[in-house]
Amino acid sequence: MAITLTKKAAERVEKYLESRGKGVGLKLAVKTTGCSGMAYVLEFSDEIPAEDQVFESHGIKIMVDPKSLIYIDGTELDFAKEGLNEGFQFNNPNVKDSCGCGESFTV
Amino acid sequence: MALLQISEPGKGTLPHEHRLSVGIDLGTTNSLIASVISGKATILEDTSQTPIMPSIVHYGEQGILVGHEAEKMQLLDPKNTVASVKRLMGKDIKDINPNDFTVQLGGGDGTISIHTQQGIKNPVETSALILKNLKELSEKRLGGEIIGAVITVPAYFDDAQRQATKDAAKIAGINVLRLINEPTAAAVAYGLDKKVEGNFVIYDLGGGTFDISILRLEKGLFEVLATHGDSALGGDDFDHIVEQWVTEDLNAEIPDIKTKQLIKNLSRKIKEGLTEKDEISVDETFAGLGAIKKTLSREKFASLSAGLTNKTIACIKQALHDANLTTNDITGVVMVGGSTRMPIIQLAVEKFIGMPLLNNINPDEVVALGAAEQANILAGNTNDELLLLDVIPLSLGIETMGDIVERIIPRNSTLPVAMGQEFTTYQDGQTGMVIHVVQGERDLVKDCRSLGKFTLKGIPPMVAGAAKIRVTFQVDTDGLLSVKAKELSTGIESSIEVKPSYGLEDKHIQQMLESSFSSAEEDKESRALAEIKVDGKQIIAMIESALEQDKNLLNQDEVNHIYAMVHELTKALAASDRALIEEKTKLLNEATATFAARRMDNSISKALTGKTINTLEF
C-alpha cells in the first residue's frame, strides 16, 4: 500500500512549496479528535523525520508516521473545487464513517 | 467532504478550529480581499471571477447594492450612489468639498450625513456594507467563518479615520486583528520585513489618489518617516489626457453622455494598450462626431502627461525632504496601484531614484496580499514572530503638580514603545510620590482619562527638587501599558500595568480627540493658571520654613507684614484670577527681599565664625 497524490494535487503542492520558498514535502497524519474520532493533519514539512515512512508521488515527497499510516494507508490526496471554495481532499479507503463536516472520521 | 489546506509544520488545526483570516485593502475606488491559502497569499475572487470590487454602495428603492452592481447605478441613479466613501471616514463636513460627491451630504455632530432615498446614512455604516460584502465573499470562498481581518489604511490616516474604519469593521461583524498602513502592507508582500533593513519609498498611484510614503525598516518594525501625496491625482487624470488627445481635432461638440462615456472608455483602452505596445492606432467612428483616425505613440503620451508625472516626482522629493533623506539613502522602491503599470511612470521613477523598482507583484493586489500575510501571522497560523506595526491612539502621560499632564508618549507612536522622563520631589523631605497615569490630548488631568495610580515609597528625605525619579512608560504590541517609577539614587522602584486602549470606549476616544482640538486655547489658559498656582504655593512653603528657622532676624512688624502678604497670596490662590495671583506673588517677593538678604548674611557669618584666616580656603 502507499500514499499517493493525484496529478492535480501534486501540481498544487509543488506550486505552494515553491511560493513558500522552503520545505521538503508534505506531512500527512491523523489526530485522535473531532466529532467522529479522527482528524486529518496536512502540513508542509521542512525535514524528513527518521521514524516516518516516505512516499513519493508525482515528484512530491509525502511523510507519514507509522501510527498514522495504519489509518490512512491507501489514501489518495486530491485537489477539488466546491463552488468558490477549493482545497485538498482525502480519499481514504479505511474510512467507515465520517462526520457531516467531513473533517473527522472513524475506521 | 471538507476541503483542507496545507498548514505550516506543527500548526495543523483541529476540525472546526481553522483560523481563517483575511487581509482587506479597503480602497477609495476599489477594494480587495485576500487570504493565505496553503501558505500562499491569494486574492479571493467573487462569482464573476473579478478580483476587484468597486467601493461603491447604491441605496436603492428596492434595496442596497454593493460593488459591481452599485457601480452600474452610478450613471443611472447618482443621487443615491455613494462612491469614494473613504474620503468621508472620520471627517467633518467642513473638511471636505460636498461637490465632489454625487450624493447630498450634510453635517452631523462632528460627522457627515449622507442623504439617500433610504434615509440618512453615515460614512461608517456605508463603509461597513462594503466590508460585509467582502467578508461574505471570503467566507464562501474559504468555506468557513473568518476569525479576523487585517484592514489597511493610508499611512496619513489620523486616529479618527482609523477609529472610523475599525467601527465600520465592527458593524460588518469583522474582528479587526490590526489596522496596518497600506505602504507597510505592500512592503510585507514583497517580504521586505523578513530580509532587509533600510529606507523604502512606496509609490502608490491608484485610480484617483496618489500617495508617497517613506518607510524605515529596522528589526522587523516599519516606521513611517514621511508621507506625501495628492488626493486628486490618479489614473483617471491620465485617461483624461488621452481623452483630450482623442477629441482635440473634433469640430463638433460631444452630443450626449453615452458618447462621452464611449470616448472615455476608448481613452482608457489606449492608455492601457500603451503599457504593452509602443503605439496605439485609433480608427473609430462616432455618431454625430465623425471618424477619429490617429495614432498615439508612447513618447507622445509621455510628453502629454509629463505634467502629471512630474507632479508625482515632486511629491517624492518633498517626502524625502520631510524624512531628511536623499535618493542615496533609499534601499528600494515598491510600486503600488494599477496606474504604476504605465511604463512612462516606471521610467520616470526609476530615473529619479536611480535603481530598479520592485514591481513584479500585481500592483492592484499587492496591498491586500501583504495584509493577508499579516492576518495569517496574527491568527497564529505560522511559526513567524509577530510583526509589530500598531500605533498608540492617544497620548499617555502622568499628573504633575497643579493637575497638569506631562505627556510621556505622544499619540501615534509606533508600538512597541518605551519612553521615560525624570521627575523630582516638590516638598522638602518628601518620601513618597503618587504616579497618576492618564491618557488624552488635553493639558489638565481632569479633562483626560485616568488609567491608574500607584505610589513610589521610600524616597530618601531630601530638599525639594533634589530627588531624581525616572518614570518609564512601556507599551507592548497589544497596547498593554506598564509604568515604572525608579528613584535613581537608591534604586527603589514601583510599577503598574494598565490596558490603555481597552480602557476606553471607541466613542470616548473620538470625543476626547475632538475636544482636544476645540479646547486648545482654553487648555493653554488652564495650564498657565495651574503653573502660577504651583509657583505661589512653593514660595509660601519656602517662606514658612525660612521663618521657622530664622524668625530672630526680623522684628515683629516685619514678621507681621510678611504673614499678611502670605495670607493675601493664599487667598488669591484659592480663586482662579491669574493676574491677581501674579500680583500677590510679586508683593510677597518684595516683602521678603530684606529677609532673604539678612538670611544670606547670617549664613555667611555663621560659616565664618570660629574660623581663622588660615583655615579658610579661597
Concatenated DSSP letters for B442-481?
A: -SBGGGSEEEEEEEEE-PPP--TTT--EEEEEEE-TT--E
pLDDT band, residue B385 (cuts 50/70/90): low
Q: Are B527 and B442 in contact (CB under 8 A)?
A: no
pLDDT band, residue B538 (cuts 50/70/90): confident
CA distance, residue B32 to nearest chain A CA (Å): 16
Q: Inform me whether the C-beta atom of residue A106 falls under 8 Å from chain B C-beta atoms.
A: no
Annotated catalytic residue: which of B71, B86, B167, B237?
Answer: B86
CA distance, residue B38 to nearest chain A CA (Å): 7
Same domain, B421 and B466: yes
Residue B235 falls within a domain, yes or no? yes
d(Cα B501, Cα B520) in Å, to the nearest integer? Answer: 23
Are residues B15 and A19, on separate chains, in Cβ contact within 8 Å? no
Q: Inform me whether the C-beta atom of residue B194 falls under 8 Å from chain A C-beta atoms.
A: no
pLDDT digits (tens, 9 = 90+) for A24-39: 999 998 876 645 567 8
Predicted confidence at residue B351, as pLDDT, reads 95
* Residues making up chain A, counted from first to last: 107
Same domain, B457 and B536: no
Q: Inform me whether the C-beta atom of residue B141 falls under 8 Å from chain A C-beta atoms.
A: yes
Same domain, B266 and B155: no
Residue B271 falls within a domain, yes or no? yes
d(Cα B513, Cα B527) in Å, to the nearest integer? Answer: 18
CA distance, residue A1 to nearest chain B CA (Å): 23
Last residue of a domain, which of B490, B518, B546?
B518
d(Cα B325, Cα B212) in Å, to the nearest integer? Answer: 14
Last residue of a domain, which of B360, B379, B404?
B360
Q: Looking at beta carbons, which residues of chain B come within 8 Å of A82?
A: 3, 143
Q: Inform me whether the C-beta atom of residue A48 falls under 8 Å from chain B C-beta atoms.
A: no
Same domain, B234 and B152: no
CATH superfamily of this structure's domain A4-106? HesB-like domain (2.60.300.12)
Q: Inform me whether the C-beta atom of residue B63 falls under 8 Å from chain A C-beta atoms.
A: no
Annotated catalytic residue: which of B167, B182, B487, B523?
Answer: B182
Q: Inform me whether the C-beta atom of residue A102 falls under 8 Å from chain B C-beta atoms.
A: yes
d(Cα B386, Cα B610) in Å, to the nearest integer? Answer: 72
| 3-class state of residue B182 by DSSP | helix
* Model confidence at A68: pLDDT above 60: yes
Domain count, chain B: 4
Predicted confidence at residue B501, as pLDDT, reads 42
d(Cα B436, Cα B71) in Å, to the nearest integer? Answer: 53
Most distant CA atoms of chain A, gap in Å: 40
Q: Inform me whether the C-beta atom of residue B140 falls under 8 Å from chain A C-beta atoms.
A: yes
Are residues B6 and A103, on separate chains, in Cβ contact within 8 Å? no
State yes or no: is B182 an active-site residue.
Answer: yes
Q: B282 forms bridges with which residues in the sheet? A: B294
pLDDT band, residue B512 (cuts 50/70/90): low
* Model confidence at B284: pLDDT above 50: yes
Q: Looking at beta carbons, which residues of chain A come within 8 Å of B372?
A: none
Are residues A31 and B12, on separate chains, in Cβ contact within 8 Å? yes
Q: Could you tell me which residue, B517 or A44, shows the higher pLDDT?
A: A44
pLDDT digits (tens, 9 = 90+) for B471-480: 999 877 655 6
Q: Looking at beta carbons, which residues of chain A come within 8 Å of B39?
A: 16, 19-20, 44
Average pLDDT estimate for B360-387: 85
Cβ neighbours for B155, distance < 8 A, ≥ 6 positions apart: B181, B182, B183, B184, B211, B213, B224, B227
Q: Looking at beta carbons, which residues of chain B come within 8 Å of A34?
A: 14-16
Q: Inform me whether the C-beta atom of residue A87 falls under 8 Å from chain B C-beta atoms.
A: yes
d(Cα B442, Cα B433) in Å, to the nearest integer? Answer: 23
Are residues A87 and B39, on separate chains, in Cβ contact within 8 Å? no
- First and final C-alpha spacing in chain A: 17
Q: What is the CA radius of gyration of chain A?
A: 14
Residue B35 falls within a domain, yes or no? yes
Percent of chain B predicted with pLDDT > 90:
29
| ipTM exceeding the 0.90 mark | no
* Model confidence at B334: pLDDT above 50: yes
Q: Give the H or E element holding residue B513.
A: helix B506-518
Nearest CA in chain B to A48: B9
Predicted confidence at residue B553, as pLDDT, reads 83
What angle (nearest 5°) sits at the alpha carbon of residue B353, between those of residues B347 and B358? 70
Predicted confidence at residue B134, as pLDDT, reads 95
Cis peptide before B416 (omega within 30 of 0): yes
CA distance, residue B357 to nearest chain A CA (Å): 21
| 3-class state of residue B363 by DSSP | coil
CA distance, residue B527 to nearest chain A CA (Å): 57
Q: Could you tell me which residue, B577 or B353, shows the higher pLDDT?
A: B353
pLDDT digits (tens, 9 = 90+) for B131-183: 999 999 999 888 888 999 999 998 777 666 777 898 899 889 999 988 888 99
Same domain, B29 and B130: yes
Predicted confidence at residue B94, as pLDDT, reads 80
Residue B617 falls within a domain, yes or no? no
Predicted confidence at residue B108, as pLDDT, reads 66
Same domain, B484 and B351: no
Task: State if pTM tops 0.80.
Answer: no
Same domain, B84 and B135: yes
The amino acid at residue B579 is A
* Model confidence at B390: pLDDT above 60: no
Same domain, B16 and B125: yes
Q: Could you tell me which residue, A36 or B305, shows the higher pLDDT?
A: B305
Most distant CA atoms of chain B, gap in Å: 117
Domain that holds residue B355: 193-360
CA distance, residue A106 to nearest chain B CA (Å): 14
Nearest CA in chain B to A36: B15
State yes or no: is B493 an active-site residue.
Answer: no
Q: Looking at beta carbons, which residues of chain A come within 8 Å of B47?
A: 84
Same domain, B444 and B528: no
- First and final C-alpha spacing in chain B: 97
Percent of chain B predicted with pLDDT > 70:
88
Predicted confidence at residue B278, as pLDDT, reads 93
Residue B614 falls within a domain, yes or no? no
Q: Could you tell me which residue, B617 or B487, shows the higher pLDDT?
A: B487
State yes or no: is B94 an active-site residue.
Answer: no
Residue B510 falls within a domain, yes or no? yes
* Model confidence at B91: pLDDT above 70: yes
CA distance, residue B47 to nearest chain A CA (Å): 7
Same domain, B115 and B33: yes
- Taking all residues of chain B, what is their mean pLDDT, rounded to a whole number? 84
d(Cα B383, Cα B380) in Å, to the nearest integer? Answer: 8
Environment class of B156 (CB within 10 Å of its CB; exposed 0-12, middle 13-18, buried 19+): middle
pLDDT band, residue B80 (cuts 50/70/90): very high
Residue B109 falls within a domain, yes or no? yes
Average pLDDT estimate for B406-417: 78
Residue contacts between A and B (CB atoms, under 8 Å) = 94
Find, among A105, A88, A102, the residue nearest to A42 by Cα: A88
Average pLDDT estimate for B18-47: 90
Environment class of B547 (CB within 10 Å of its CB; exposed 0-12, middle 13-18, buried 19+): middle
In degrees to the nearest 10, what's the CA dihedral of B513, B517, B519, B521? 150
Q: Looking at beta carbons, which residues of chain A come within 8 Å of B15?
A: 33-35, 39, 99, 101, 103-104
* Model confidence at B343: pLDDT above 90: yes
d(Cα B592, Cα B472) in Å, to the nearest integer? Answer: 39
Predicted confidence at residue A102, as pLDDT, reads 57
Q: Could you tell me which residue, B208 or B234, shows the higher pLDDT?
A: B234
pLDDT digits (tens, 9 = 90+) for A73-90: 899 999 988 777 788 988
Q: Inform me whether the C-beta atom of residue A105 falls under 8 Å from chain B C-beta atoms.
A: no
Residue B616 falls within a domain, yes or no? no
Q: Are B159 and B393 in contact (CB under 8 A)?
A: yes
Are residues A42 and B47, on separate chains, in Cβ contact within 8 Å? no
Return the CATH number at B369: 3.30.420.40
**Best residue of A11, A48, A85 to probe chain B, by most B CBs closer than 10 Å:** A85
Same domain, B3 and B76: yes
Average pLDDT estimate for B347-356: 94
* Model confidence at B609: pLDDT above 70: no
Instruction: Tell me the pairing of strands B290-297 and B279-286.
Output: antiparallel
Average pLDDT estimate for A7-24: 89
Return the CATH number at B407: 2.60.34.10
Same domain, B573 and B504: no
Q: Looking at beta carbons, which residues of chain B come within 8 Å of A16?
A: 6, 38-40
Annotated catalytic residue: which of B25, B159, B230, B390?
Answer: B25
